[in-house]
Amino acid sequence: MEKNKKISMSISVLIFLAVVAFLVFITINKEENPATLQNMEAEQKNMQITQQVEGVKITILQEGNGETAKPGNTVAMNYTGRLADGAVFDSNVDSKFSHVEPFIFTIGAGEVIRGWDIGVAGMKEGEKRILEINPDYAYGSAGAGGVIPPNATITFEVELLQIKK
């Protein structure tokens, strides 16, 4: 009889411990970890939207909130151009280049490389993008000015400052 009581007591203790462990597990999984939630919110804010339009890979870094640029609009832009190795070949925001003022052109008028016409159309004022432009939409087999080699994929970080009227 004494042996049966010990077995019964052991089983009761095991069941009790199993129930406690289960409740602890459920409680831990139900609680929301504030640090994890903050990280998720930060990741969502920093998510970048990437799309391919013809020969231009467009990554939106910061959405704008102004008017939307379309072909025929004259726009004022800030930009920095880089080669595939990251070397900056031109910029209007870096004082080491002589033209530190907004770059102005008309979308679709043939004033810039085709990749710019494609990549800037649809931007909103205040928007920042990265345009990764394949050679056929940039300077092709000719390259440019001894600075951009033939058949180079080039990248521009651009910001639409204003749509001029």
**Enzyme catalytic residues:** 79, 89-90, 113, 139, 156
Q: Is the dihedral of CA 143, 144, 146, 147 positive or negative?
A: negative
Distance of alpha carbon 95 from alpha carbon 99, whole angstroms: 8
- Dig out the tokens for 33 from the structure: 């970890």
> Per-residue b/e over 29-62, b at no fewer than 16 CB within 10 Å?
eeeeeeeeeeeeeeeeeeeeeeeeeebbbbbbee
Residue 67 DSSP one-character state: P
